[in-house]
Structures are given as structure tokens and as C-alpha cells.
Amino acid sequence: MRNIKLTIEYDGSNYKGWQKQPTEISIQEIIEDAIFKITRDKVKLEASGRTDKGVHAFGQTASFFTNSDIVKYKLIRGLNSVLPDDISIRKVEEVNSEFHARYYAKGKSYKYIIYNSQVRSPIYRNNAYHVPYKLDMNKFRQNVNMLIGTHDFTSFTSIKEGTDNKIRTIYSIDIEQKNEVIELTFKGSGFLYNMIRIIVGTLVDVSRGRIKSNIEEIIDAKNRKRAGITAPSHALYLMEVYY
């Protein structure tokens, strides 16, 4: 059997997230249906990880096994011709049979976009988090630096999360600011459920003075209650999965 890896872009606005669900429309289901239309093969897509309701991706990855002998360029064209406007396949690769989009992932990068202005933005309304408060950007940067490295991120994940090991490594967080728009790019070994959204919510709360502790103290507390709000999903983008 062939093992096919897809690199996928999507606007998550209209979906209940990546993962297939009994009653709601998921991105996984839409792509599995498209693969069926093109190859007549009922496959199961294994993604690098779930993305939540509303989260977008420039470079989600997923793989599937198939007996179809369709050539790669016909598969990508075929899939993009039947997929809706808000999902596209950017790349099709044939990988060895051991490859698994989740277990083989060595790291990921995400982008989070903050729109920081008293006035709401019509143009950024669907893809950035509107923060109407004044932020102390020095404090913001100092606290961002405290996140880099290997830490137990228990304070920065939702209680629903079942995995025991909450230790993750953040390699870098780049901050790019252009007028009202603050783009944060996270690179790390992996991220816990809601981790980036809680980190962003906490950075905002700390930089506007709503939370008095700093990120280091909040990490040390290992307590979700010490962190800030979960920032909205529509401003989060899965950029790339590293193998």
C-alpha cells in the first residue's frame, strides 16, 4: 500500500475543528470525502494533531494509506477541484510506510495575531484577536522570554487535557509588530490543548496589568487558575509541522 502525506491549508471559520465528529462538519471528514471522490478509496486520515473549532492552518499535515495508483499531480488537482473554497491541498508526497503524521512530528509552529487598538478593525475582524486595552510591550516581551525553554505547562492547558506529561519545549517566540497588528510566531516540540491560546490570553492580561504575577511565577504555580483567559481561536494559525 502507498502511504500519502498531504500538506493542507484551511480557513477554519466554518468548521467544528479538524477531527471527525458524529453530528458536526469537520475538516477531516470533508477531505476524506474528497479522497473518496477522486480515488474511490475509503481512507482514514491521520493528522499531525487536531485543531480546534475556528482555528486555521497554512500547513496542517495528514497521511493516509491507499491502494490507488493515481499519480501525485492528478491527486492534488483532483482534490482541489472537489474541495470547498476554504480548504486546499498544498502538497502531496509519497512517504515510507512507517511515516505517521502525528508520531513522526518533531515540532510545530503556530502564528497568533493580536489587533491592539481601542477601535475594532473591520478588515482584521475574522482573523485577529481584538485587544482594546493599552499593553505594556516591554512587559510583554520580558514575559515572552520567560516562556522559552522546557517547562511544565500545566498552568497553560485546559483541565480537559488527559495526558500526564505536561512538559513541553518552546524553541522560540517571534514578535512582529506593525502598527496595531502584533504577530506572534511560536515554535516548539509540541503544544498542549489550548496552550497557545492560554499563553496569549495570559500575556495580554499581564501586559495590561490585570494579572500581577509574571509568566515565570505562573509556570511555577502549575495551576490553570493563575493564568489568564483563553484567547479566541479565530486568530490562531497552524503554520508548519516539522519532521
Environment class of residue 160 by beta-carbon count within 10 Å: exposed (0-12), middle (13-18) or buried (19+)?
A: exposed
Helices (H) and strands (E) in the chain, counts: 5, 10
Q: Which residues contact 219 (CB under 8 A, 6 or more apart)?
A: 146, 147, 151, 152, 153, 155, 156
Residue 36: DSSP 8-state: H
Gap between the Cα atoms of 28 and 24, Å rounded: 11
Residue 112 known to bind ligand: no
Residue 15: DSSP 8-state: S
- The smaller minimum CB distance to its own copies, of residues 42 and 134, is found at 134
Note whether 181 and 121 are within 8 A (CB): no
Three-state SS string over 122-175 comes to CCCCCCCEEECCCCCHHHHHHHHHHHCEEEECHHHCCCCCCCCCCEEEEEEEEE
Query: Considering the rule CB under 8 A, would residue 183 count as an interface residue with its own copies?
Result: no
Among 70, 87, 200, 206, binds its own copies (CB under 8 A): 87
- The smaller minimum CB distance to its own copies, of residues 122 and 162, is found at 122
Q: Which stretch binds its own copies (CB under 8 A): 87-95, 102-110, 161-169, 182-190?
A: 87-95
Cell matching residue 6: 498531504
Among 19, 80, 177, 189, binds its own copies (CB under 8 A): 80
Query: Considering the rule CB under 8 A, would residue 213 count as an interface residue with its own copies?
Result: no
Query: Considering the rule CB under 8 A, would residue 130 count as an interface residue with its own copies?
Result: no
- The smaller minimum CB distance to its own copies, of residues 127 and 169, is found at 127
Among 4, 11, 43, 62, binds its own copies (CB under 8 A): 11
Residues catalogued as catalytic: 52
Query: Considering the rule CB under 8 A, would residue 101 count as an interface residue with its own copies?
Result: no
Note whether 40 and 49 are within 8 A (CB): no
- The smaller minimum CB distance to its own copies, of residues 132 and 149, is found at 132
Looking up cell 491549508 gives: 9
- The smaller minimum CB distance to its own copies, of residues 197 and 234, is found at 234
Mask 39-78, x = binds its own copies (CB under 8 A)?
-----------------x-x-----------------x--
Minimum CB–partner distance for residue 132 and its own copies (Å) = 11
Enumerate binding residues for its own copies (CB under 8 A): 9-11, 56, 58, 76, 80, 85-90, 117, 119-123, 125, 127, 237
Binding site listing for substrate: 110
